[in-house]
């Protein structure tokens, strides 16, 4: 099984506690409903279905990424996932009751438990996060980048989004001077290394961090992603790694195709009223056809015509040519903004899935014009064509519309390298959260975030450090 699904002992322990809490929530609901005098028949029925209720809850939590306690993300996003997960549990109970033709748990009990369970789970998660915060504290961090201009997006993200977990006290630019770790870094808890940092510098800081029990955050080079599943081999007594370009096996392709056909068919049936509504509304609110076809590049770099609901004015690129949509793009219609925010404009691509041109989960299809640009700066970009493009993907659930192409590529390559049916299912469930969150559907930002002053202060500390008697030595 993929290492993404090898759960740690602490995760299994938390899942076991979740099971106990789910049991207590429903037991409390029974106590409230029957005022402490639960009928024997009702209690016996409840006890028979406790394992099923626990499995449904824990399984849904896993699919919504609620056992990920190691990532540094916004807590509000985590608890939003928790709420959506409980809505999904309710839907699962409704379908289960419909399937067995009778209510396995009284509706009044379900309603009480659904109110109590997310509250109790939220308190439990807050306790876990509080313990982590006390144990880890806010770490003093140094950013080591090749150049502040080329790595501006990394600096910006860490300063704006990482301030809850780390205090950036300095930025080192290896293009100007190469720092050697030493006593000057004794009070530093964490080093974040950008992909452009020279391998020798990375090795020095990793050795220093290992000896001094400090944390390293490494933004991986693309080739380093392939090492995650590299096979260890030997040539005589010499250890070597076998790295083969990621590609699905024939059996994995068959399983993925069956999954695609099943999910696409179910989604088409469920979404057909919505698709019919927008088929009518789009021409009424903006001149032009509701549906349009655009050439995209698919598996093995073969072109195909992707289907989409039109969210922009008709012939939007006649004047501008191919350009990425901006956050306040005037070409997007009012109805189009709604469709983009909810991903309704992508629904016709279910027909692309049925035709075998796309998959439910995979890297998003892109146009040849942009692909040629990406290839110039991202040599590993062609690897994403090892699988069919997807209606949704890991880059879409972990990032935003405006996430850098290099970061999206890292997620795409991680997905291809770690494909499993369970991984597809997990991404599909998390897509529900993305659809409901407007923030992740915004276009490319047209302005820079206000981090200039912080950068000047942090970069200035590098010069002060170089002039200090406590400064480390530098290679010439």
Q: Residue 302 has what pLDDT?
A: 95
- Take residue 10 and report the two structure tokens written for it: 């602490």
pLDDT at residue 297, as a whole number: 95
Predicted structure pTM score: 0.78
Q: What is the DSSP-derived secondary structure letter of residue 364?
A: P
> Cα 437 vs. chain centroid, distance in angstroms?
13
Which residue reads 């279905």 in tokens? Answer: 49
Backbone phi, psi, residue 289, to 5° = -75, 160
Indicate the pairing of strand 238-242 with strand 231-235: antiparallel
**What's the CA gap between 359 and 366, in Å, rounded?**
14
* pLDDT score, position 5: 45
Scan for tokens 């909810």, then name that residue. Answer: 342
Task: Give the per-residue pLDDT at 102.
Answer: 62
Closest CA to 121 of 91, 78, 88, 82: 82
What is the CATH architecture assignment of 138-219+449-475? 3-Layer(aba) Sandwich (3.40)
Q: Which pLDDT belongs to residue 471? A: 40
Q: Give the 3-state secondary structure of residue 105.
A: coil
Strand partners for 231: 242
Helix (H, G, I), strand (E, B) or coil at 298: coil
Listed by start position, the domains of the chain span 7-135, 138-219+449-475, 250-315+323-441
* Residues in the chain where the model's pLDDT stays below 50: 1-5, 441, 443-448, 465-476
Identify the helix (H) or strand (E) that includes residue 313.
none
Q: Which residues pair with 295 in a beta bridge?
A: 305
179 beta partners: 474
Instruction: Write the DSSP string, 226-242.
Output: HGGGPEEEEETTEEEEE
Instruction: Provide the 3-class DSSP secondary structure of residue 351.
Output: helix
Identify the H or E element spanning 82: helix 75-100
H/E element, 218:
strand 215-218
Strand segments (E) across 281-330: 291-297, 303-309
- State the DSSP code for 327: T
**Residue whose C-alpha is closest to residue 67's, from 136, 130, 124:** 124
Output the CA angle 254-258-263, nearest 5 degrees. 150
- Alpha-helix residue ranges (DSSP H) falling in 101-146: 107-136
pLDDT of residue 446: 47
Q: CA distances (Å), 47 to each of 21, 256, 283, 367, in order?
A: 14, 37, 55, 55
Distance, in Å, from the CA atom of 267 to the CA atom of 93, rounded to the nearest integer, reads 19
Cβ(406)–Cβ(375) below 8 Å: no
The predicted structure's pLDDT at residue 328: 64
């Amino acid at each position: 099984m993929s290492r993404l699904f090898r759960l740690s002992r602490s995760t299994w322990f938390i899942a076991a506690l979740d099971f106990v809490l789910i049991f207590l929530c429903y037991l409390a609901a029974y106590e409230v409903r029957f005022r402490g005098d639960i009928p024997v028949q009702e209690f016996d029925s409840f006890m028979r279905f406790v394992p099923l209720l626990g499995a449904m809850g824990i399984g849904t939590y896993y699919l919504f990424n609620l056992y990920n306690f190691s990532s540094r993300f916004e807590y509000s996003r985590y608890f939003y996932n928790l709420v959506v997960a409980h809505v999904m549990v309710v839907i699962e109970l409704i379908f289960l009751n419909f399937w067995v033709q009778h209510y396995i748990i009284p509706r009044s009990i379900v309603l009480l438990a659904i109110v109590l369970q997310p509250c109790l789970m939220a308190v439990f998660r807050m306790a876990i996060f509080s313990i982590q915060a006390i144990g880890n504290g806010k770490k003093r961090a140094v950013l080591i980048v090749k150049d502040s201009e080329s790595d501006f997006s990394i600096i910006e993200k860490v300063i704006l989004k990482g301030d809850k977990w780390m205090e950036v006290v300095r930025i080192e630019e290896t293009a100007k001077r190469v720092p050697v770790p030493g006593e000057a870094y004794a009070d530093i808890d964490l080093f974040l290394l950008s992909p452009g940092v020279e391998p020798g510098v990375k090795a020095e800081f990793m050795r220093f961090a290992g000896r001094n029990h400090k944390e390293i955050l490494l933004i991986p080079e693309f080739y380093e992603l392939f090492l995650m599943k590299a096979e260890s081999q030997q040539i005589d007594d010499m250890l070597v790694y076998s790295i083969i370009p990621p590609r699905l096996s024939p059996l994995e392709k068959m399983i993925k195709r069956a999954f695609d056909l099943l999910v696409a068919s179910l989604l088409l049936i469920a979404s057909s009223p919505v698709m019919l509504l927008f088929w009518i509304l789009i021409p009424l609110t903006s001149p032009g056809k509701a549906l349009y076809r655009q050439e995209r590049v698919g598996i093995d770099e073969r072109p195909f015509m992707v289907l989409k609901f039109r969210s922009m004015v008709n012939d939007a690129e006649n004047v501008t040519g191919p350009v990425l949509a901006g956050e306040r793009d005037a070409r997007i219609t009012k109805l189009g903004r709604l469709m983009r925010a909810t991903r309704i404009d992508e629904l016709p691509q279910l027909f692309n899935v049925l035709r075998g041109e796309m998959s439910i989960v995979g890297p998003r299809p892109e146009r040849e014009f942009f692909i040629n640009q990406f290839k110039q700066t991202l040599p590993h970009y062609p690897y994403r064509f090892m699988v069919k493009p997807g209606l949704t993907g890991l880059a879409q659930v972990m990032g935003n519309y405006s996430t850098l192409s290099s970061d999206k590529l890292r997620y795409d390559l991680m997905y291809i390298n770690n494909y499993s049916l369970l991984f597809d299912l997990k991404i599909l469930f998390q897509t529900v959260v993305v659809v409901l969150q407007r923030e992740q559907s915004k276009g490319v930002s047209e302005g820079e975030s206000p981090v200039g002053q912080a950068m000047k202060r942090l970069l200035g500390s590098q010069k002060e450090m170089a002039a200090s008697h406590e400064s480390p030595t530098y290679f010439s």
